[in-house]
Amino acid sequence: MTSRNYLFKYLLLTVLFVGAFGATPWASRAQNSGPVVLLTWRAETYVPQEYEGRVLPISGSKITLAVDVADKGALASLSTQKVYWYVNEHLAAAGTGLTRTSISVSSRPGTDVLDVRVALPDYGDDGTGAAVQIPVVAPETVISIPSPAKRVGARSFEVRGLPYFFNVTDTGELAFSWQVAGTTPPAYNDPASITVTLPDNAPARQIPISLSIANPSVDFENASQEISVDFKP
Amino acid sequence: MKRWLVITLIILAAVILVGLGIYLRGRSIAPKNPAAGGGLPEGTTRPGGTGGNGGASGGATSTITVARSAAVAYAVLPDGTVETIGPDGTVVVASTTASVTSPLRIQNLLGASFSHDGAKVLARAGDPLDPRWSVFDLKKASWQPLALNARVAAWSPNDYRVAYFTKKLSGSSLAVMDLKAQSPKPQVIMSFAADDLLVDWVSPSRLMVRERESALVGGMLAMVDIANKTIQVLRTDAKGAEMVWGAEEGLLFEAAPAGPGGSLSLMNLKGETTQTFTFLTLPSKCSFYPTASSSQASPGEDLLCAIPRDAKGFGLSQLPDDYRKGSLFTADDLFRIDLVDGTFTPVGAAQNGDFDVISPSIRNGILYFINRLDGKLYKAPVAL
């Protein structure tokens, strides 16, 4: 066989191989292409009991980090794997099988994101890992009135004050300070909920309501909100 | 010359094969975007509000009444009996002729849900971080404690199994328990190092596991096969992901990558996006509704959605966070959305009322929903 024939057959095989590989849309589907690292976290700050969304961390709060690896349809056992945890590129914790660890958010103001990374250098052939950014938020105060446009028609209506993401376990640890149209409302049993009562002849108007919530045991851990209620009898 | 022609044809064939592969791969993951009706069609008249009665087709407006003065969850039986559980933990069964209130109630109720046939109620009470679980049997009118040691649990869509995450010393385990059994025992599916995950039933054989949602963080979405005990991770970066499932598809909301608002799409049982929408609402304000021509062999479904009237204001909110925190309330209009041709049919609601609709459903020609503004269960006859 001449060298030209060999060249021809080599070229044919190469081109067919490349074409066959490119024609398989399933070849590079992510689901079959290796382990997926699940880096999850949970912050421990206060939220109202009816809130079912993600609890976010603030300065000084504790966060629990966890890692799982989904590989070939199963969760891999990591009990013998070396696990390294990094926060803002500083080694925070390391250990064999250390799939969970806790960190505290720095109390320094100005921290608004934590870069968290987990590395499993001995997993599989090349090691694996993942990284997430955890937002560090400020505590929040929500004045809640169940009305789409904060519009009320009754002369007496209830307003709820909802604290989010404070470093407490109970609202009893928080101080609530209400103002309705510039004045402090009469004493209330539950500081998280007040009843605003207007005189019988009160005209239609905008009523400003503000609420400040503070954690007295931590400096600067407070949040305020002011809303305007549209009173139309 | 002939040899070079052959070589050229071979190379051309290879290029065509590669191009075909790229095209096929793109098509298999590209979502279908309906050419028309994906958003609210121009000129669609909203029922109630400024739009007056009815709409483009069908959907007569009708009188709306209160079915129960306070409801956390409800179920409607085929004979029209309405079962509700109130925030005070009492269960009320109201047939067309009589209303019966259970003598016992659950204190400090946090949440509840009815089984697929309304025969049982699963209730969560007490400390949100370590809740007590109980099951109410409506036939026996009795409560039984349930040792779930869980924060979240969900009913199967077609039997008395409950899926839940049980706490471990280090993480959590996803388990399924069949409450039909005399002595229910947990069947552990898999164990995670993570300990604050949510679980939804996708189908009788599959579960969706996800992280709690916020517009500010990405989270994991994964499909779990119960029988094979396998997991398929769909996403690790889904922001603010909230879902509701029908028989064949799920409605997925995701927060915008940056800024307010978000988007809605349909996901099939394999976790693939099949359709995107241009209107905006939350899955908790929607449900899947069997089409007129659906059958057991061909279970087609439409979407029943409450869509905020102030679409602009809703889209400028941080979703779903603002809604979940109680700082955002909406006034909605209800639509039935045909998922095949994309048409929107207004579903009659109150003529002059504002309702922040959650958990809508249509049973026996009657619309039911809970109004988040006052916590009441409302109903109205509808013609679709």
The predicted pLDDT at position B297 comes to: 57
What are B50-76's pLDDT values in tens digits? 333 333 333 444 588 999 999 999 999
Q: What three-state secondary structure class fits B18?
A: helix
CB pair distance less than 8 Å for A53 and B212: yes
Q: Please indicate whether, in this complex, the C-beta atoms of A53 and B325 are within 8 angstroms of each other.
A: yes
Which residues have a Cβ under 8 Å from the Cβ of B361 and sit 6 or more positions away? B76, B287, B289, B304, B367, B368, B369
Picking from A18, A49, A53, the nearest residue to B14 by CB comes out as A18
Q: Does A153 lie at the interface with B, CB-CB under 8 angstroms?
A: no
Residues forming a β-bridge with A231: A152, A205
Closest CB to A146: pick one of B191, B212, B373: B373
Determine phi and psi for B322, rounding to 5 degrees: -60, -40
How close is the nearest chain A Cα to the Cα of B239, in Å? Answer: 11
Please give the model's pTM, rounded to 2 decimal places.
0.85
- pLDDT value at residue B103: 81
Residues B21, A24: C-beta atoms closer than 8 Å: yes
Q: Is the separation of the CB atoms in A109 and A74 below 8 Å?
A: no
- Kindly state whether A19 is in contact with chain B, defined as any CB-CB distance less than 8 angstroms: yes
- In chain B, the residue whose alpha carbon lies closest to the alpha carbon of A98 is B193
Tokens 């931590």: give the residue: A218
Question: CB within 8 A of B27, min separation 6: which ones?
Answer: none
pLDDT at B142: 86
pLDDT at site B98: 84
Alpha-carbon distance of A59 to B241, in angstroms, equals 25
| pLDDT at position B35 | 32
Which residues of chain A are modeled with pLDDT < 70?
1-4, 6-8, 10-12, 14-33, 107-111
* CB spacing of A15 vs B231 below 8 angstroms: no
The pairing of beta strand B262-268 with beta strand B249-255: antiparallel
Residue A146 and residue B219: Cβ atoms within 8 Å?
no
Selected for mutation to probe chain A from B170, B231, B355, B370 (highest A CB count within 10 Å) is B231
Angle between helices B2-29 and A3-22 (to 10 degrees): 10
First to last CA, chain A: 101
Whether B211 and A54 lie within 8 Å, measured CB to CB: yes
Distance to chain A for B182, nearest Cα, Å: 31
Average pLDDT, chain B: 85
Best probe of the B interface among A6, A15, A229, by most B CBs < 10 A, is: A15
A71 inside 8 A of chain B by CB: no
A74 interaction partners in chain B (CB closer than 8 Å): 190, 229-231
Length of chain A: 233
How close, in Å, is residue B128 to chain A by CA atoms?
6
Residue A43 and residue A139 in contact, taking contact as beta carbons nearer than 8 Å = no
Q: Is B144 helix (H, G, I), strand (E, B) or coil?
A: strand
Q: Which residue of chain B has the CA closest to A42?
A: B196
B373 contacts A142? CB cut-off 8 A: no
From A28's Cα to the closest Cα of chain B, the distance in A is: 9
CB pairs under 8 A between A and B: 159
pLDDT tens sequence across A10-61: 666 766 666 555 555 444 444 446 999 999 999 999 999 999 999 999 999 9
From chain A residues 196-215, the ones with a CB under 8 A of any chain B CB are none
Name the β-bridge partners of A96: A82
Verify whether the Cβ–Cβ distance B18 to A55 is below 8 Å: no
Q: Over the stretch B124-164, which tens digit does the pLDDT of each residue have?
A: 999 888 899 999 998 888 888 888 888 899 999 999 999 99
Q: Is A15 left (phi over 0), alpha (psi -120 to 50) or beta?
A: alpha
> Considering only CB atoms, which chain B residues are within 8 Å of A50?
110, 326
Q: Does A52 touch chain B (CB under 8 A)?
A: yes
- Nearest CB to A148: which of B170, B321, B331? B331
Q: Could you tell me which of A54, A40, A117 has the C-alpha nearest to residue A86?
A: A117
Cα–Cα distances in Å, from B357 out to B41, B216, B372? Answer: 21, 25, 6
Find the CB nearest A54 among B22, B212, B356.
B212
The letter for the amino acid at A201 is N
Say what the pLDDT of residue B291 is. 79
**CA distance, residue B329 to nearest chain A CA (Å):** 5
Q: What is the chain A residue with the closest CA to B229?
A: A74
Which ranges of chain B have pLDDT less than 70? 1, 18-62, 292-299, 349-353, 384
Is A67 part of the contact surface with chain B (CB cutoff 8 Å)? yes
- Report CB contact under 8 Å: A54, B110: no
Beta carbons within 8 Å of B350's beta carbon, 6+ residues apart: B48, B64, B378, B380
Query: Are the C-beta atoms of B66 and B94 separated by less than 8 Å?
Result: no
Does B329 contact A8 at a Cβ distance shorter than 8 Å?
A: no
Q: A49 in contact with B at a CB cutoff of 8 Å? A: yes
Quote the ipTM score. Answer: 0.85
